Amino acid sequence: MSSPVRHLMQAGRLHRFFIGGQWVAPEGTDRIAVVSPSTEDAVCDIVLGNEHDADQAVRAARKAFAGWSATPPQERAALLDRVHALMLERAELFAMALTTEMGAPISYARAAHVPLAAEHIRVARDNLASYPFRVQRGTTAVVREPIGVCALITPWNWPIYQITAKVGPALAAGCTVVLKPSELSPLSALLFAEVIEDAGVPPGVFNLVMGTGAQVGTLLASHPQVDMVSITGSTRAGVLVAQAAAPTVKRVAQELGGKSPNVVLPDADLPRAISLGVAAAFRNMGQSCSAPTRLIVPRAALGQVEALAVSATEQMIVGDPFADATTHGPLANRAQFGRVQTMIEAGIDERAKLIVGGPGRPEGLSRGFYARPTIFSDVRTEMAIAQEEIFGPVLAILPYESVEEAIAIANDTVYGLGAHVQGTDKALVRAVAAQIQSGQVHLNYPAWDPQAPFGGYKQSGNGREYGIEGMEEYMEVKSILGFYD
């Protein structure tokens, strides 16, 4: 039994929800197994909530809203500071939970998943401490107020990172929340609820209910006492949440799918551009909505690009996620493993040029949701592997003849979440970035910036997360005319 499971069982919290500051027994009785993606064995099960559980959580959040929204910003910031400190203090337990529930290599969980998640809390705290909730515009006061009770629906691919990206700014804004994490990766969410409790966040400000999207997610989105719903997930899930929310005319923020381009300009440093491009596409085993899985390169350099891409892939170690040497673990669940295998076969059927990887598990791995890091070259933009979000370690290399064609290929997608541009001519790099239809564009692999707003164009969603804009998503704007007369 893994240590996070043992910890939660010993604390009596594995089969509990956190509602109104208490660990309560759910009314729902259905259960679902939490499956280790590295062994395909069940490590535990959790209880799924029902309509009563969802309603109780919303009512607790509604009851707490008046007090929390009136709490001075410096007090809210102090509570977020305690949450941040406890997350760092318990970082190893969080990392073990992530490796157990979704297969992140333990080294990557320690280096990325947990510390970056904690950064969202720190940024929310820092932004809150200096945020002007009221500004003067002539004689009018423009005031930002918390929107109310927020339902937060988070995915399985970056479990704790996506939780803190929503909870941090929502609490900073003065909202109360009901969190519904993915039922496939619940352990880190339960550990986070413990942190919230131990940090002294008032009862009802944060509530946690487990359940499926079809059941609990829909109930929360349609609940008349929920003022806003924020979802990170597939475009299909985002559409269903928006439809459920529509009759109550609540705000819906959606961070959804992506098929991000990585445009390598003719003057780019190819060894750097390709090695880091492959690494970016395959980070988290390709299970990132903004992963740059379309590598758009000059046709004249295609042979060199292929050799560099194969070399970069051969440096990856796919295996036991609890082994320190492993760079890439299994896919997070059985359904995703099946999806990736189907799309690899689709690439072969479309006669894209397979240069590394392919269907099946890596050599020596007969069990677990392990996939082979796979790269197709000479891909055409109309192919399924160039259009559909695969959400796995599958990279498509698309050649172009001119920069104008490269930009057209980059924009030939229903998505618009992330993008990359590589080149040594900064003016050209910036000019290309300006023409890409995407919520974020990364130039020459910059450092991650937790203050950079994140969100999508087109079918990648609505609204923004991270930074000031992420906090403002959870606010209403009120104009008070004559305030400064």
- Hey, which residues are catalytic here? 255, 289
One-letter amino acid identity for 386?
A: A
Closest listed residue to residue 390, CA positions, set 373, 377, 378: 373
Question: How many of the other CB atoms lie within 10 Å of CB of 64?
Answer: 22
**111, 190 Cβ separation under 8 angstroms:** no
Distance CA 152, CA 150 (A): 6
**153, 232 Cβ separation under 8 angstroms:** yes
Closest listed residue to residue 347, CA positions, set 390, 311, 314, 306: 390
Tell me which residue has tokens 């927020």: 150
Contacts 24+ apart (CB under 8 A), 135-141: 136/483, 136/484, 138/484, 139/481, 139/482, 139/483, 139/484, 139/485, 140/479, 140/480, 140/481, 140/482, 140/483, 140/484, 141/479, 141/480, 141/483, 141/484
One-letter amino acid identity for 119?
A: E
- Torsion sign over Cα 411, 415, 417, 419: negative
Distance CA 365, CA 330 (A): 10
**439, 460 Cβ separation under 8 angstroms:** yes
Distance CA 395, CA 418 (A): 15
Q: What is the DSSP string of 282-313?
A: HGGGG--TT---EEEEEGGGHHHHHHHHHHHH
- Two structure tokens written together for 341: 């295998």
Distance CA 399, CA 377 (A): 8
Write a three-state SS string for 447-460: CCCCCCCECCCHHH
Distance CA 47, CA 36 (A): 17
- Torsion sign over Cα 196, 238, 293, 296: negative
Q: What is the DSSP string of 96-134?
A: HHHHHHH---HHHIIIIIHHHHHHHHHHHHHHHHH--SE
